[in-house]
Amino acid sequence: MKTRSNYWQLLPYLQPQWQNIAKALACTLAFTVFSPILAWLAGQMAKYIGQGNVAVSAQLALVSAAIFLLRGLSLYGQDVLMVKAALAIALNLRKRVYAHLQRLNLGYFETARTGDLSYRLTEDIDRIAEVVNKVFHDFVPCILQLVVVLGYMVYLNWQLTVAAFVVVPFLTLLVSWFGERIRNFSRRSQNRVSNLSALLTEAFSGIRLIQAFAAEDYTTNLFGQEAEHNRQAKYVAERLKAIQILVVGFIYAMSVLLLFWLGGWQISQGHLTGSTFVSYVAAGAFLIDPVGHISVDYNEFKQGEASVDRIFELLALQPVVLESPQAITLPPVTGKVDYRGVNFAYIPGQPVLQNLSLMALPGEMIALVGASGAGKTTLVNLLPRFYDPQAGQILIDGIDIRDVTLRSLRRQIGIVPQETVLFSGTIAQNIAFGHAVFDLKAVQAAAKIANAHQFITQLPDGYYTWVGERGVNLSGGQRQRLAIARAVLLNPRILILDEATSALDSESEALVQEALERLMQNRTVFVIAHRLTTVRRADRILVMEHGRIVESGTHDELLQLGNHYARFYAQQQGTVAKTF
């Protein structure tokens, strides 16, 4: 079981805010110093009231009111400055975690749950900000107040103070014991909330499938079970906190009763005056709030520690694909691609590509065909360095792709996937994705090449029409043409097409195919083909099997061979359809 805290790792995020934190602590110190002064004034007022001196008592009351005001202003300054610092720390941490996640390899996101990541970037970081704010806004002031007021109480009567706080070590151990268990239960609760968030993300993104299979009751039951697990985890943590408050509160109340009994005994023995005891009790009153807060804050720190652990778990993840410190910017390329003896496996001992060599000349169209799992997608995914091979090299224009920056490499490779991903934003923003500033005329020119301009102009707001999440308010053909327009605007020398027309109707397919032909002109193109009728015009067709290239040639050449490709083609042309 993990016992070491990750709170110390927050220090680099606190340093940029040291000025705000220092100012807040100055306000805290002022707020704290006023507490024993008010306790002393209470004793003096009691003395003069006992003497019947109303005028002096009134003056002391006015001074007390002024000090209360100054104390309140100090508290205000502390609160405002610490909230400002805590929110800035949360923003910096959130941006850092998001940027770090962007650099992780695709394999991580294939197994990670979107809902869990969203929860960590939102709720967990918000909780960390609350903890940081609480430390300087509440915990430190309470500790300072405890020290200052206790010092004043020792000054007034050390015997009473020692007797009253003999239970403090026991209370400290008790709070620590409860806090450690609350941390464990809080982490369990937060994991359950992450599961719940992930389930919601999956359900809402797959609502069409849920309704198509009439699985509403099934998914509702799953949600209900996960929500119940979340309720149970939260209930256990909250019940433990309630028990702690009960036990600690009872012990503290007993110590207060002991204080009054001992004070009364000392007064009866002549060792303590009434006004001093009033001042002592007033000082003790200033401890009630800090002691209660420290106990509650400690519980919240333990709950927040679970969030800190979960955030730094993400930051501890290391990208598999790393950019060399000496990486150069890839100059504009002609498009010559050379795979040399490439071996790759997602899982050690289970090779996907085996000693694969391939050269694509500038402007050449290479089609990749073969059964599912043959390694076609893996082959093209290595080119933009979504993954790195375990052995071998990949060169573009004679330059090893591991020697260039990822940005300069990927800016020269365009990808049109089988299923287009669109983001919430306007049509123009989706076409110019990745460009913070773009020229609308260039976007329109790209859309025209992609056969998208006509349907875009018929939309309510044209290029400024808002695209819903994942582009569900557009047809498949329209989304695909936007993806082509996106690639046109990028103007890459190398193009990867993942059977961009396989899921379209005949009319949409014709428009998309025409747009693709324009896009492919004068570019090196890799086409992952599932329907062999789409690759007849390829300069070379590579048939892959078990991570190897088993055949290479044009459509006519491979048909004449009468081997793998010929059989695939015959099967697709026959009555039995098969997907490759």
pLDDT digits (tens, 9 = 90+) for 153-203: 777 777 777 766 665 566 666 666 766 676 666 667 667 776 777 677 667
Measured at the CA of 93, the angle between CA 89 and CA 98, to 5 degrees, comes to: 150
Write out the two tokens for 99.
């940027």
- 189 vs 59, which has greater pLDDT? 59
Instruction: Look up residue 294 and give its DSSP letter.
Output: H
Is the pLDDT score of 3 beyond 60?
Answer: no
Write out the two tokens for 408.
């300069």
Q: What is the mean pLDDT of the chain?
A: 80
Q: What percent of the chain has pLDDT over 90?
A: 14
Give the CB-side neighbour count of residue 80, counting CA atoms within 13 A: 7
The reported pTM is 0.68
* Position 247, amino acid: V
Strands (E), 508-547: 524-528, 540-545
CB 133 within 8 A of CB 83: yes
Instruction: Tell how strand 540-545 and strand 524-528 pair up.
Output: unpaired
Instruction: Look up residue 104 and give its DSSP letter.
Output: S
Residues 525, 521: Cα–Cα separation, whole Å: 9
Is the pLDDT score of 121 beyond 70?
Answer: yes
Class of the CATH-defined domain 18-316: mainly alpha
| pLDDT at residue 578, as a whole number | 39
Task: Identify which of 277, 21, 7 has the alpha carbon closest to the alpha carbon of residue 136.
Answer: 21
What are the beta bridge partners of residue 497?
A: 416, 527
Measured at the CA of 532, the angle between CA 528 and CA 538, to 5 degrees, comes to: 65
Q: What percent of the chain has pLDDT over 70?
A: 80
For the chain, the domains span 18-316, 418-491
Residues 497, 414: Cα–Cα separation, whole Å: 8
Task: Please report which confidence band the pLDDT of residue 4 belongs to, taking 50, 70 and 90 as the band edges.
Answer: low
| pLDDT at residue 214, as a whole number | 66
| pLDDT at residue 108, as a whole number | 80
| pLDDT at residue 580, as a whole number | 41
* pLDDT tens digits, one per residue of 527-576: 987 777 668 888 999 999 989 999 999 988 888 888 888 888 888 776 34
Write out the two tokens for 56.
């002096």
Please name the residues in contact with 379: beta carbons below 8 A apart, sequence gap of 6 or more.
339, 353, 356, 358, 368, 526, 544
Task: Please report which confidence band the pLDDT of residue 416 belongs to, taking 50, 70 and 90 as the band edges.
Answer: confident
Task: Identify which of 34, 18, 32, 128 has the alpha carbon closest to the alpha carbon of residue 81.
Answer: 18
- 342 vs 11, which has greater pLDDT? 342
Residue range 509-515: mean pLDDT, rounded: 76
Q: Which residue has the tokens 């093209």?
A: 380
Residues 78, 72: Cα–Cα separation, whole Å: 10
Residues 229, 395: Cα–Cα separation, whole Å: 52
Instruction: Tell how strand 337-344 and strand 391-396 pair up.
Output: antiparallel
| pLDDT at residue 575, as a whole number | 37
Topology (CATH) of 418-491: Rossmann fold (3.40.50)
Mark residue 392 as left, alpha or beta (left: phi above 0; alpha: psi -120 to 50; beta: remaining): left
Q: Is 418 exposed, middle or buried (0-12, 13-18, 19+ CB in 10 A)?
A: middle
